[in-house]
Structure 1
Amino acid sequence: MRNKEMLLVPGPTPVMDEIYDALSSETMGHTDPRFAKIFKNSLNLSKQLFNTDGEVFVIAGSGTLAMEMAIINTVAPGEKLLVVSHGYFGDRFIPLAKVFGIKVETLQAEWGQQISKELLEEKLAEGGFKAVTVTHVDTSTGVMANIEELIPVVKKTGALFILDGVCATAALEEDMQKTYGHPDYKIDVVLTGSQKAIGVPPGLGMVAFGPKALAAREAMSSVMGYYTDIKNWLPVMNDPVKYFATPPVNMIYAFNKGMEMVMAEGLEKRYCRHSALGRAMRSALKVYGMKPLAMEEVAAPTLSCIIYPEGLNDAEFRSKLASKGVVVAGALAALAGKAFRIGHMGNATEEMFVKALQIIGETLQEMGYEANIDAAVDEFKGIYRSV
């Protein structure tokens, strides 16, 4: 990689040279048949990623725009939405939906823990919910939702299941034709962004709609959006030579290359690699006396929130790491200053994480903490290479 730093934040993630090369290709006109062919290929690959028999929309914007697109095209003003939140980014659905006059209720987990299916069943028994949002992996806590348990609970009520896959897509299975105990119990919407486990620079929002979600939009006479109305984008997604709003041509080049790399690796292999990477990093950091916020059984394969040893100065630690070329993120909300977040997803390599562990250990030693670097690296390699 030509990257000068190891960008180990929870996104963006390190970008491979092949993707940079695609991004820097000569810009074509957005209605050029040659570009339309590239765009169409990226859409087809996206449909394969989600295994959807519905539609996938890829547009210029962030994951937050994708969240908005998912909500306004399925839930009308005055209808009820239940937000299942495992942290800061799950909570983001609350103000987003309220802006559009949607009645929002929430189930909020204690940070580092999951919402149980029993608690969800109890809440849904109140009735009347059009849809339920669940964040697959919350970027603030590193907690992974147990969708195997949650989907049947939601679907038996008739509500739509909307999955925020921003920090999970291409690292965790999000198969929209998979059934969960009943032929009709499926994921209805998945939304995500380009910059995390897919490994492409920030700039694209993606939303996949299954048949029931598309039917929900069809039943609405209008939505509270123009750019985010999927009906305006549908002709373009079916035939990218058509025009609604100018697509980000070079980002589509990069996205197409990124998706080709995802599919070339193979989804099952990619899921296993991420799972091993998450377990290996958390176990290795424990050697340094650093404790993951989330217990292993609920921890995500894509990032971890790591609590510092007693007394360690957050700003100094992250600054020292950055000066050596390793960039990690601070924690959010009540954990700010008490923990850091490290991403372990996308196209980052084993060699990068071995080097990062060495630099983390050296930095801890400089700050007066014991750190057995060889033991941490051996722990990482032992778990990661066992897959």
Structure 2
Amino acid sequence: MKRNKEMLLVPGPTPVTGEIYDALAQETWGHTDPRFVKIFKESIALTKQLFNTDGEVFVLAGSGTVAMEMALVNTVAPGEKILVVSHGFFGDRFIDIAEAFGIQAETIQAEWGQHVDPEQVRAKLAEGGFKAVTVSHADTSTGVAASLEQLVPVVKEAGALFILDGVCATAAMDEDMGKEYGASNHRIDVILTGSQKAIGVPPGIAIVAFSPEALAAREKLGRINAYYSDIKKWQPVMENPAKYFATPPVNLIYAYHRGLQLVMEEGLETRWNRHTISAKAIRAALATYGMEALADEAIAASTLSCFIYPEGIDDGKFRAALADKGVVVAGALASLAGKAFRVGHMGNATNDMFARAIELIGVTLNEIGYTVDTQAAVRKFQETCENRIVLEY
């Protein structure tokens, strides 16, 4: 039986491979069964490898939003202040989380499709009093990627914690907690993510990584206004998965374990390069249809793109007709709703899938009266992939 009957090219969830489905479908063991404990322990070790951290990682049932909450409430106390560096809709979610826990939040909001100026961040932090700065690595609403090379030093020079939302970037874009950005203490402090995007596993697992500095910040807070989200409750389990706090999602952990194995078998740098090359090729191909990406190539994410429709395209009709052909893409958000659509190009989706999707997008455009050359677009995609440049990290 064909398990993936559609090409799911939304910004998440992403296509799931047969190997991961097989892992997910294994018999459910008890969460204290030594066989499961072994898999969970290996998954935790692979997660540390994924982020190259000498701190601690937390893998538990939940969504990316739970991970956002965990990142914030375990580092910032009520009444303390954070700076939210937002490149779109999902960066703004930190504002609501902060408000719920009595944390003060100030925001630097980029125009959608643009990148926040690091000097603007520097000037804001110079006002003083900021405990942490939150940054979305790839904003799911706009397809804009944050520049860690520029932002991490600015934040760390100000003495704040750097909290990275990696939900739509982890396992596709460089996220290395051991990396120094210009000085020995200029590192990412917290990365949060979910299982369902570039890792390529079904939704349901929240993942958060804390550096030693972030763990020390948690210690200084003492008691916090959280229970499930308190990393102090989870730390004994992460150190020894045979211990119990709340029941782990056993079958999802099987799938996550296999998903991380596939990531490591491919190799992180190889995987980052694959995503970069495919993303550029997709954007180049759809540009031949008059579909321009919202984000300029210099600041575009490797995991998803938001495309502006040419004049006269009806969003609902286009996406419905495309879905009838087995290609599912996402609508745009907020002020871009109806004017653009979003394509996810991450995880275990393949270039063969992307080429077929580009062709079917062209077929759909022709059917609704907007004439395009589908074969030219596919050739552009293939040529861009073949003329790839291997990046150096």
Match of 1:38 in 2: 39
Query: Can you list the C-alpha shifts for 1:346-382, whole angstroms capped at 9, x where unaligned?
Result: 0001111111011100000001111111110011011
Residue 384 (structure 2) pairs with residue 383 (structure 1): yes
**C-alpha distance in structure 2 between counterparts of 1:174 and 1:147, whole Å:** 9
**1:93 maps to amino acid:** F
**C-alpha distance in structure 2 between counterparts of 1:354 and 1:311, whole Å:** 25
Structure 1: which 5+ runs fail to align?
none
- The alignment partner of 2:48 has SS state of helix
- Equivalent positions of 1:41-190 (< 5 A) are 41-190=42-191
Displacement, 1:54?
Answer: 0.1
**C-alpha distance in structure 2 between counterparts of 1:119 and 1:352, whole Å:** 40
**2:64 maps to amino acid:** G
**C-alpha distance in structure 1 between counterparts of 2:198 and 2:384, whole Å:** 20
- The alignment partner of 1:84 has SS state of strand
**2:136 maps to amino acid:** T
Match of 1:344 in 2: 345
**C-alpha distance in structure 1 between counterparts of 2:204 and 2:135, whole Å:** 23
Query: Can you list the C-alpha shifts for 1:88-145, whole angstroms capped at 9, x where unaligned?
Result: 0000000111110001100000000000111111111110000000000000000000
**2:28 maps to amino acid:** T
Query: Can you list the C-alpha shifts for 1:41-90, whole angstroms capped at 9, x where unaligned?
Result: 11101100100000000010000000000000000000001000000000
Residue 212 (structure 2) pairs with residue 219 (structure 1): no
**C-alpha distance in structure 2 between counterparts of 1:349 and 1:182, whole Å:** 38
- Equivalent positions of 1:252-291 (< 5 A) are 252-291=253-292
Match of 1:302 in 2: 303
**C-alpha distance in structure 1 between counterparts of 2:329 and 2:265, whole Å:** 28
**1:268 maps to amino acid:** E
**2:171 maps to amino acid:** A
**2:377 maps to amino acid:** A
Displacement, 1:223?
Answer: 1.1
**C-alpha distance in structure 1 between counterparts of 2:92 and 2:221, whole Å:** 26
RMSD of equivalent CA atoms:
0.6
Query: Can you list the C-alpha shifts for 1:231-255, whole angstroms capped at 9, x where unaligned?
Result: 0000100110110000000000000
**1:235 maps to amino acid:** P
Query: Can you list the C-alpha shifts for 1:204-246, whole angstroms capped at 9, x where unaligned?
Result: 0000000100000001111111000000000100110110000
Displacement, 1:2?
Answer: 2.8
Structure 2: which 5+ runs fail to align?
389-393
**C-alpha distance in structure 1 between counterparts of 2:51 and 2:387, whole Å:** 28
Query: Can you list the C-alpha shifts for 1:312-358, whole angstroms capped at 9, x where unaligned?
Result: 00000000011110000000000000000000000001111111011
**C-alpha distance in structure 1 between counterparts of 2:176 and 2:304, whole Å:** 21
**C-alpha distance in structure 1 between counterparts of 2:165 and 2:9, whole Å:** 21
**C-alpha distance in structure 1 between counterparts of 2:166 and 2:302, whole Å:** 13
Displacement, 1:386?
Answer: 2.4
Residue 323 (structure 2) pairs with residue 322 (structure 1): yes
**2:24 maps to amino acid:** L
Query: Can you list the C-alpha shifts for 1:269-301, whole angstroms capped at 9, x where unaligned?
Result: 000000001100000000111110001101001
- The alignment partner of 1:81 has SS state of strand
**C-alpha distance in structure 2 between counterparts of 1:122 and 1:269, whole Å:** 37
Displacement, 1:385?
Answer: 2.3
- The alignment partner of 1:95 has SS state of helix
**1:370 maps to amino acid:** T
- The alignment partner of 1:365 has SS state of helix
**C-alpha distance in structure 2 between counterparts of 1:343 and 1:385, whole Å:** 21
Match of 2:391 in 1: none
**C-alpha distance in structure 1 between counterparts of 2:308 and 2:300, whole Å:** 14
**C-alpha distance in structure 2 between counterparts of 1:221 and 1:268, whole Å:** 38
**Any runs of at least 4 consecutive aligned residues in structure 1 with deviations exceeding 6 A, and if so which?**
none
Displacement, 1:17?
Answer: 0.3
- The alignment partner of 2:192 has SS state of strand
**2:138 maps to amino acid:** V
| Number of equivalenced pairs | 387
**C-alpha distance in structure 1 between counterparts of 2:106 and 2:262, whole Å:** 39
- The alignment partner of 2:124 has SS state of helix
**1:142 maps to amino acid:** G
Displacement, 1:157?
Answer: 1.0
Match of 1:366 in 2: 367
Q: TM-score, normalised by structure 1?
A: 0.99
**C-alpha distance in structure 2 between counterparts of 1:370 and 1:286, whole Å:** 14
Match of 2:192 in 1: 191
- The alignment partner of 2:85 has SS state of strand
**1:44 maps to amino acid:** A
**2:321 maps to amino acid:** K
Match of 1:311 in 2: 312
Q: Percent identity?
A: 67
